[in-house]
Structure 1
């Protein structure tokens, strides 16, 4: 089956343009907000374990910093491209604005397959990349975080590298670190907890019950796995799951904790007992109430949108729905909670971590989760109110809210000199 191959940056700009038109932004404001502020491309050598030297390419893009320091993850993947990083940086700008966090948007990445690198090679690559982008990152300028194929250990290496350059520890230069060096309670499952909160809010707004709601989740990593666990704890019935090895389906429900153990023991979900094997594409079209894409961009397209059976889609991944699919879902009356709202729990708790590091005073996990829930509920309600007032989708409601906030900050600051 053919799959839409879309440039993610073109998608991000098209989404912005639609919001800018509805907001009536000036030509000058549109020109400013369409373009990233800074783009850094670095090519650097890494000595491999066998003594060979390999060259790697990395990126760091800052989209907009008018509301605060740049904030955004770093991903290690063979598929990283400059346009992907540009799109993710722009989405981060809107994500921070939609939940009211005083950050701008950034993103970074290295073109590599971390699964083919030894731990020592991965550390050398990370430290060299951190050194190359150290001209941009800093606790008051640009604060990286984990993303695809990066984790607390990689953040620890970045924090240590930056600190070695400064001559003293700077824990607030990255978020998503281990607790032992200034990480925050609740950070690892923060994105999933945000997904849980907005899923419940959206179900209730549609007059649907949380308990017994049938949920399908594409992706079983940190976000997908924790989302499944947290939603099941509220009484949702997880009927479909998938990872890179394929998907599994059981209309009577899957025991998520058992699936997590099985995945760890067997390297994937394939072969999970008491479940039917399905492909990743078939998974998206399973009968369910809620579909949560928690994997990659461009998963819901013009090719499969008409066969999606969910009443509610919650975008735990960044950019999983193409604009054509979005229009089909609108026509079919399917509600989509957009990525810039649905997965903003991660950056919200990253903000908490940064604040705690700056003041050297830390909160309990209960405090973190309560603060996160308040922000996610408030943000969902604000987006829903905006969408209803403008008679538009939740995605456009979120964009109208976020773009207006960034435009207001940009207008207030003016153009230097």
Structure 2
């Protein structure tokens, strides 16, 4: 799933930005301020590896300070570079604006292949990275809040939180310096699967619009929709899982070692179990066909294609062979501007990355709020709501003479858990934001596609923040 041609990811993001900016009324100076990365911090630090020393390259980019703190994940990859981190930071700015999360955009990167390091070495790298951020004031609950990204997870976030807490003794809100932490270390229920759940909700909202589905020759709704998912990591797996629950059929799965396909559907959990046992999705008994070249998996017949791996997977060189009618960008930047233009012109719909995968930052926002308030969602009012509902049910039963079963009473009386509140907030955010983007698209026929509409909305929101600072009239 590597890039097949030389491209600049940041230039791709800027290209999308420039195209959308023509549909706004802001000055060139303000647009330039919104587009530029405000702070780019590149640094190197040594670690002990075996009997020697290795120097690690790392970055932290804060794209926009129109709101504080800035927010964005830390990518662990031997392919990470400054251009990529800048692009991801820019996308975070627009992503937060689209889903109305009050953060500026940021991103981090550590240039390593995690498979080449022991657990102790990874911990050393993560803690040293955090120390470097603290030294330059690039991390803090009111400054810049990292999160997991490709190659990192709850474990790394717990190391970051502990290191920051150690270096800032007595800081009351220290655990809010990072999100995506384990539940036991002040994390939040639902964060791990939030991005995948958000992608599934975004797809569901897209396919429920009768007018749009009619133009694609599809029936409204997810039931029976054939989906190919690229990437079986956290995002790809959870996206596929929730799409299946909503009625879709996973007909194809792609990973770096190859791809499998079955028009009648694949058993997701069986594929995951097979890969865990054999180290590959190839050779799965339920596959009707398989491809040693992962890219071929993207080109099979389906209704919806979900690239959930890395950037630049759908390019001008392969877009003509993509048969999907909807591309849902679960990954960041999987479709190049040239490929996107071709796809849109032939009538396809692209659900853009900066909206589609915003479930992660949305629930990270909830976690940050939880850390600042020092109380779990639902703790204060769960029992109150249950008692109030119980009184209401008892009154209705008394007035009507109808008695509910224990199961029925339980469903009505139950107060919301933290997970239910988080999922409810995530769904509300994704649903409202999709229709806000679509409304922007429909308001101007020249906008033409959802990505441009999303950029227009994001640019306008960020511009308002800058204008409120008094810098621009």
Q: State TM-score, norm by structure 1.
A: 0.97
Equivalent in the alignment of 2:413: none
Aligned pair partner of 2:290 in 271, 274, 277: 277
Match of 2:138 among 136, 140, 157: 136
For the residue of structure 2 that corresponds to 1:225, the secondary structure is: helix
Deviation digits for residues 124-168 of structure 1 (CA, Å, limit 9, x no counterpart): 010001101112110001000000100100000000000010124
Distance 1:377 1:397 in 2: 16
Equivalent residue in structure 1 for 2:273, among 261, 268, 272: 261
Are residues 1:146 and 2:148 paired?
Answer: yes
Task: Tell whether 2:333 aligns with 1:333.
Answer: no
Q: How far apart are 1:216 and its partner, in Å?
A: 0.2
Q: 1:99: which partner in 2? A: 99
Distance 1:407 1:253, change over 3 A: same
Q: CA deviation at 1:249?
A: 0.6
Other-structure match for 1:89: 89
SS in 2 for 1:132: helix
Output the CA distance in 2 between the equivalents of 1:72 and 1:4.
27
1:119 shift after superposition? 0.3
Shift of 1:244: 1.8
CA contact (8 A) 1:12 1:90 kept: yes
Aligned to 1:179: 183
2:15 aligned with 1:10, yes or no?
A: no
Among 390, 393, 396, which residue is 2:449 paired with? Answer: 393
Distance, in Å, in 1 between the alignment partners of 2:422 and 2:117 is: 35
CA–CA separation in structure 2 for the residues paired with 1:132 and 1:415: 32
2:228 to 216, 223, 239: 216
**Which secondary structure does the structure 2 equivalent of 1:158 belong to?**
helix
SS in 2 for 1:313: strand
Please state how far the C-alpha of 1:24 moved relative to its aligned partner. 2.8
Pairwise CA distance, 1:333 = 0.3
Mean alpha-carbon deviation: is it higher for 17-26 or for 139-148? 17-26
Structure 1 unaligned spans of 5+? none
Equivalences, count: 415
Aligned with residue 294 of structure 1, among 308, 315, 321: 308
Q: Is the 8 A contact 2:3 2:312 kept in 1?
A: no
3-state secondary structure, aligned to 1:57:
strand
Determine the C-alpha separation between the residues in 1 that align with 2:235 and 2:40. Answer: 28
* 1:373-384 equivalence runs, <5 A: 373-384=427-438
| Distance across 2 between alignment mates of 1:151 and 1:127 | 14
Structure 2 residue 420 is the aligned partner of structure 1 residue 366: yes
Deviation at 1:336, TM superposition (A): 0.3
* Alpha-carbon spacing, 1:2–1:83, altered in 2? closer, same or farther (3 Å): closer
Please name the residue that 1:252 is paired with. 264
**Secondary structure of the structure 2 residue equivalent to 1:272:** coil
Q: CA deviation at 1:307?
A: 1.5
Structure number with greater Rg is 2
Q: Partners of 1:232 and 1:7 in 2: how far apart?
A: 35
* 8 Å Cα contact 1:390-1:397 kept in structure 2: no
**Aligned residue for 1:40?**
41
Secondary structure of 1:3 counterpart: coil
Name which of structure 1's ranges 341-350 and 160-169 shifts more when overlaid on structure 2. 160-169
For the residues of structure 2 that align with 1:101 and 1:13, how far apart are their CA atoms? Answer: 22
Q: CA RMSD in A?
A: 1.4
Over residues 257-297 of structure 1, what are the superposed CA-to-partner deviations in whole Å (9 max), with x where a residue is unaligned? 11122222222312211212122211111100100000111
Assess if the C-alpha contact under 8 Å between 2:3 and 2:311 holds in 1: no
C-alpha distance in 1 between matches for 2:279 and 2:371: 35
SS state of the match for residue 132, structure 2?
A: helix
1:313 and 2:327 equivalent?
yes
Shift of 1:2: 9.5
State the alpha-carbon separation in 1 of the partners of residues 280 and 203 from structure 2.
Answer: 26
> Is the Cα–Cα contact under 8 Å of residues 249 and 265 in structure 2 kept in the other structure?
yes
**Which residue of structure 1 aligns with residue 163 of structure 2?**
161
1:72 and 2:72 correspond? yes
Query: Where does structure 2 lack aligned partners over 5 or more consecutive residues?
Result: 214-218, 378-417
Please state how far the C-alpha of 1:10 moved relative to its aligned partner: 0.7
Q: Distance in 2 between matches of 1:265 and 1:329?
A: 38
Measure the CA separation in 2 of the matches of 1:368 and 1:220.
24
Contact 1:218–1:284 (Cα < 8 Å) also in 2 = yes
Distance in 2 separating the partners of 1:411 and 1:227? 38
